Amino acid sequence: MKVIKFGGSSLASAEQLKKVLNIVKSDSTRRFVVVSAPGKRHSEDTKVTDALIKYYKHYITDYNFSEDQDWIINRYQSITDELGLRPAILEEIAGAIKDLATLPKEDNAFLYDTFLAAGEDNNAKLIAEYFRTEGLNARYIHPKEAGLIVTSEPGNARILPSSYDKLEELRESDEILVIPGFFGVTVDNHICTFSRGGSDITGSIIAAGVKADLYENFTDVDGIFAAHPGVVDKPHSIKELTYREMRELAYAGFSVLHDEALIPAYRGQIPLVIKNTNNPDHPGTRIVLEPSSSATPVVGISGDNDFVSINMSKYLMNREVGFGRKVLQILEELNIRFEHMPTGIDDMSIIVRGRELTPIKEQEIISQLTRKLEVDEVSIERNLSILMIVGENMKSKIGVTATATKALSEAGINLMMISQGASELSVMFVVRTEDEKTAVRALYDAFFE
Amino acid sequence: MKVIKFGGSSLASAEQLKKVLNIVKSDSTRRFVVVSAPGKRHSEDTKVTDALIKYYKHYITDYNFSEDQDWIINRYQSITDELGLRPAILEEIAGAIKDLATLPKEDNAFLYDTFLAAGEDNNAKLIAEYFRTEGLNARYIHPKEAGLIVTSEPGNARILPSSYDKLEELRESDEILVIPGFFGVTVDNHICTFSRGGSDITGSIIAAGVKADLYENFTDVDGIFAAHPGVVDKPHSIKELTYREMRELAYAGFSVLHDEALIPAYRGQIPLVIKNTNNPDHPGTRIVLEPSSSATPVVGISGDNDFVSINMSKYLMNREVGFGRKVLQILEELNIRFEHMPTGIDDMSIIVRGRELTPIKEQEIISQLTRKLEVDEVSIERNLSILMIVGENMKSKIGVTATATKALSEAGINLMMISQGASELSVMFVVRTEDEKTAVRALYDAFFE
């Protein structure tokens, strides 16, 4: 059986929902349907979730919110009308939207989460109704009934491990279950939303819980591209990549799925496919556990900017037991995550994301390195980008790094740093951000053209 | 003015001392002569220092040591006889050698150092006498008189910073001062020797102390080769390299001078030249503070073996603040120095020297990584070699890494890791030790042929 998840743009209009119906109908093993809130119909449109945020703000500040309610209800109505659904379902949705404005405002840590979750929750009701109208044996199921019990961390809920036993019972159902994404319920019955990648997380948890054969994630692209389409002209889409490759690519700028959303599916060993609602015959991109031997050495090339390098040198640094640890300790005490730590003999660099390094923290680091660790020199270099070439099969092929460095060299790119770790799953290059796009194109041409 | 230091093989016989005399005579700015003990005259010969160790062992164990005394005195005598020096100097040396066996054995932490230092000390007396005989205004000077005051750490003395003021006064002397290398005197008047690189350290300190224009280090080779002559057939010798380059090369196997010996000269900003006593017209290798613009991008290629990689992976490792620090802490608590730490996204490797990692420590590391840090996988890979291509001018030249990786790829070498830090002073490659020599040759050919 399969878990199938649709994103907001796949559920934005009646026209889109007809595509969704056909997709679900065309494969009887598609038994669990996880849905987002209605997304944008065109680039100027407003997402239902964003309208709910506005509604919430007006409600808690005692501002007039009836326009917000109307907008949201109309948004659902435009879909129910066009699909010819019975009026009762819209009444139910309208009632739920209006009821939000009766919830207590004081001492309610979950109020914001409850407003937000209404987008997904009501869409699930609508879609289950639509499926039934079209002859499917479908049913809306609330996360509480499904067993999606989460920690009490508003905006950052995590699934309780004990939930998985209950979720597994859903296998026994002979209905198509339509489940709202993005939230779960706490042991105290509060609505609590996941962090970034919300509905993807729900799909991933359900897939792991019901031990699905496949987790299908429907978006509005034909899968994952081998490089960013904004940088490389018409990059090819990747047929298959592993979870590890996906994670390496996600690290430096690939954002089709948020990588943390994949953890439950990865740990549950569920393969995943990313497909296009608007082009369902395209095979999409499969994300699997082990690489196939036929895969190319490099599956994708990613690039991300806003990295900073803290460079330090000290004569005979290398002989000091504990030097590296002390440097990392300084960062840890300032709550800064480091990304990489390339070392020479008497020099060391720490690469961090720019957003981690405020001017005050920067001054503190320089001061502590100079005072406590007595480094000879320290400098901070901003506006760096990290490029990654990723592929599990790189390790069996000599010369991938040579091809990459040759391509970068011929494109006139000055490599600030290069690092290839023992996993041989990726090679990382640090370049100046002004060179990033040229470098990604050079690498793409070298490996895919 | 110049400080000139001669190693043991340059002082092993009367024939060698004649070369030394000519070298000193040929340049009137050679004002401070630092000497080692007489070294080997041929490969089967015994160094005077080794004979002194034997003498010491026999003395402290109340074994008969008269043969040892005779051997050492005869060794000096063979030189004084051939040079036709007056008998008084040999009597003085013989007396000093015999007097060693009158020193207290109990509670004498400096006894071993005092025996060892006699090799250099008596050679300095002999050489000063020879210089005088040949018409030079030369004088032996004891480290105490010179002002070489050191810490009370037998076998591991370090110069006291306050010594430098006294040493600077030596500039005022109009004599050629002959100074025994390898030892200093503690504030309590004990003889205390330096660690590895002994006489080189003395030369380096004197050069810094008298603010020499140049520190000339005379050995038995025409300078430093761009690669190990045992690996590459007739490598060319390097004309000029910087202290930083020297240190990077020394790190992975270059051992003409021990790099720690250079610290005083480096800190004193004294340029150094390594020359050949047996071929003094050869310009040798200059070690300078800043690279000249005409230098080639790569100055040398070194390789060293017996490295071990501790590889670990953990899903989402990268998100854990403090993970890297905790890994280094485990190593620090086991008193293991790490060399490099290449990182991927969810994996990290720690490279250490094989001698640092006993089987017990290895087990402890694996156990702690698994138990405390909950890594998903950990593996240990032995028999690795580190290759370094070194050159300060690499940073201004795009494509050095490309040239190197291409050469290695064409030689069929599988790169285990590669790291180029921010200093861009060197690029490090980790390969299997079985590939090391092929790899060094491939790199040498790529950059020097």
| Residue B366 Cα, gap to closest chain A Cα (Å) | 17
Quote the CA–CA distance of B428 and B441 in Å, as a whole number: 15
Contact status, residue B448 vs residue B236, Cβ threshold 8 Å: yes
DSSP string, A398-444: TTHHHHHHHHHHHTT---SEEEE-TT-SEEEEEEEGGGHHHHHHHHH
- Interface probe, candidates B246, B343, B356, chain A, greatest A C-beta count within 10 A: B343
Helix (H/G/I), strand (E/B), else coil: B346: coil
Determine the pLDDT at residue A425.
Answer: 84
How many interchain CB pairs under 8 A, A with B?
181
pLDDT digits over B317-355, tens only? Answer: 877 788 889 999 999 999 998 888 888 778 889 999 999
Name the strand (E) or helix (H) holding B331.
helix B323-333
Q: Residue A41 burial (CB < 10 Å; 0-12/13-18/19+)?
A: middle
Cross-chain Cβ contact A309/B422 below 8 Å: yes
Residues of chain B contacting A325 with CB distance shorter than 8 Å: 325, 328-329, 331-332
Residue with tokens 């050629």: B176
CATH no. of A2-219? 3.40.1160.10
Determine the pLDDT at residue A316.
Answer: 77
Band (A196; pLDDT cuts 50, 70, 90): low
Closest CA to A427 of A235, A245, A266: A245
Residue A108 or residue A318, greater confidence: A108
Cα distances from A283 to residues A30, A218, A221, A256, A413, in angstroms, run 16, 11, 11, 16, 36
A5 is in an annotated binding site: yes
- Interface probe, candidates A259, A345, A348, chain B, greatest B C-beta count within 10 A: A345
Quote the CA–CA distance of B108 and B98 in Å, as a whole number: 18
User: What is B300-446's CATH topology?
Assistant: VC0802-like (3.30.2130)
| Closest CB from A321, A345, A398 relative to B337 | A321
Band (B414; pLDDT cuts 50, 70, 90): confident
pLDDT at B107 over 70: yes
Cα distances from B182 to residues A215, A426, B159, B261, B420, in angstroms, run 72, 49, 12, 11, 37
Contact status, residue A376 vs residue A315, Cβ threshold 8 Å: yes
pLDDT at A293 over 80: no
pLDDT digits over A86-96, tens only? Answer: 999 999 999 99
Band (B205; pLDDT cuts 50, 70, 90): very high
DSSP-derived letter for residue B324 is H
Degrees, nearest 5: CA angle A426-A428-A431: 155
Burial A109-125 (b: 16+ CB within 10 A, else e): ebbbbbbbbbbbbbbbb
pLDDT at B256 over 70: no
Quote the CA–CA distance of A348 and A327 in Å, as a whole number: 10
Residue with tokens 């026999």: B58
Nearest Cα residue in chain B from A425 = B344
pTM of the predicted structure, to 2 decimals = 0.78
Determine the pLDDT at residue A320.
Answer: 79
Residue A253 or residue A126, greater confidence: A126
Closest CA to B111 of B47, B59, B182, B36: B59
pLDDT digits over B268-291, tens only? Answer: 999 999 999 999 999 999 999 988
Closest CA to A344 of B262, B440, B340: B340
Band (A393; pLDDT cuts 50, 70, 90): confident
Contact status, residue B158 vs residue B148, Cβ threshold 8 Å: no
**Cβ-based neighbours of A360, under 8 Å, separated by 6 or more:** none
pLDDT at B124 over 70: yes
Cross-chain Cβ contact B419/A342 below 8 Å: yes
| Residue B442 Cα, gap to closest chain A Cα (Å) | 14
Average pLDDT value for residue range A165-176: 94
Percent of chain B exceeding pLDDT 70 equals: 98
For chain A, what are the domain ranges? 2-219, 300-446
Quote the CA–CA distance of B247 and B253 in Å, as a whole number: 10
Q: What share of chain A is helix, strand, coil (3-state, %, to 5)?
A: 45, 20, 35
B6 is in an annotated binding site: yes
Band (B1; pLDDT cuts 50, 70, 90): very high
| Closest CB from A315, A316, A422 relative to B309 | A422
pLDDT digits over A321-378, tens only? Answer: 888 899 999 999 999 988 888 887 788 899 999 999 999 999 999 999 999 999 999 9
| Closest CB from B319, B398, B420 relative to A409 | B398
| Residue A323 Cα, gap to closest chain B Cα (Å) | 9
Helix (H/G/I), strand (E/B), else coil: B194: coil
pLDDT digits over A227-271, tens only? Answer: 988 899 999 989 999 988 888 888 777 766 777 788 899 999 999
Bridge-based pairing state of the strands B417-420 and A417-420: antiparallel
pLDDT at A445 over 80: yes
A200 is in an annotated binding site: no
Determine the pLDDT at residue B215.
Answer: 97
Quote the CA–CA distance of B338 and B249 in Å, as a whole number: 18
**Residue A135, Ramachandran bin (φ over 0: left; ψ between -120 and 50: alpha; else beta):** left
Cross-chain Cβ contact B415/A401 below 8 Å: yes
Where is average pLDDT lowest: A157-161, A162-166, A196-200? A196-200
Residue with tokens 């000077």: B141
| Closest CB from A251, A316, A398 relative to B345 | A251
Average pLDDT value for residue range B26-53: 95
| Mean pLDDT over each residue of chain B, to the nearest integer | 92
Percent of chain B exceeding pLDDT 90 equals: 76
Strands (E), B334-425: 347-353, 377-390, 417-420
Determine the pLDDT at residue B275.
Answer: 95
| Closest CB from A311, A322, A417 relative to B332 | A322
| Mean pLDDT over each residue of chain A, to the nearest integer | 92
CA A24 from chain centre, in angstroms, equals 23
Determine the pLDDT at residue B196.
Answer: 67
pLDDT digits over B80-101, tens only? Answer: 999 999 999 999 999 999 999 9
Contact status, residue B20 vs residue B291, Cβ threshold 8 Å: no
Cα distances from A213 to residues A183, A210, B307, B381, in angstroms, run 23, 9, 44, 36
Quote the CA–CA distance of B86 and B77 in Å, as a whole number: 11
pLDDT at B202 over 70: yes
| Closest CB from A247, A309, A315 relative to B346 | A247
pLDDT at B127 over 90: yes
A219 is in an annotated binding site: yes
Residues of chain A contacting B251 with CB distance shorter than 8 Å: 318, 345
Quote the CA–CA distance of A372 and A354 in Å, as a whole number: 24
Strand order in the sheet with B183-186: B149-150, B183-186, B191-193
Residues of chain B contacting A343 with CB distance shorter than 8 Å: 339-341, 419, 421
Closest CA to B389 of B431, B358, B350: B431
**Residue A272 bridge partners (DSSP):** A215, A287
Cross-chain Cβ contact A347/B381 below 8 Å: no
Average pLDDT value for residue range B391-412: 87
Band (B26; pLDDT cuts 50, 70, 90): very high
**Cβ-based neighbours of A99, under 8 Å, separated by 6 or more:** none
Residues of chain A contacting B357 with CB distance shorter than 8 Å: none
Determine the pLDDT at residue A230.
Answer: 86
Q: Which amino acid is at B266?
A: Y
Where is average pLDDT lowest: A246-250, A441-445, B48-52? A246-250
pLDDT at B255 over 90: no
pLDDT at A395 over 70: yes
| Residue B36 Cα, gap to closest chain A Cα (Å) | 25
Which ipTM was obtained for this model? 0.73
Quote the CA–CA distance of B362 and B310 in Å, as a whole number: 9
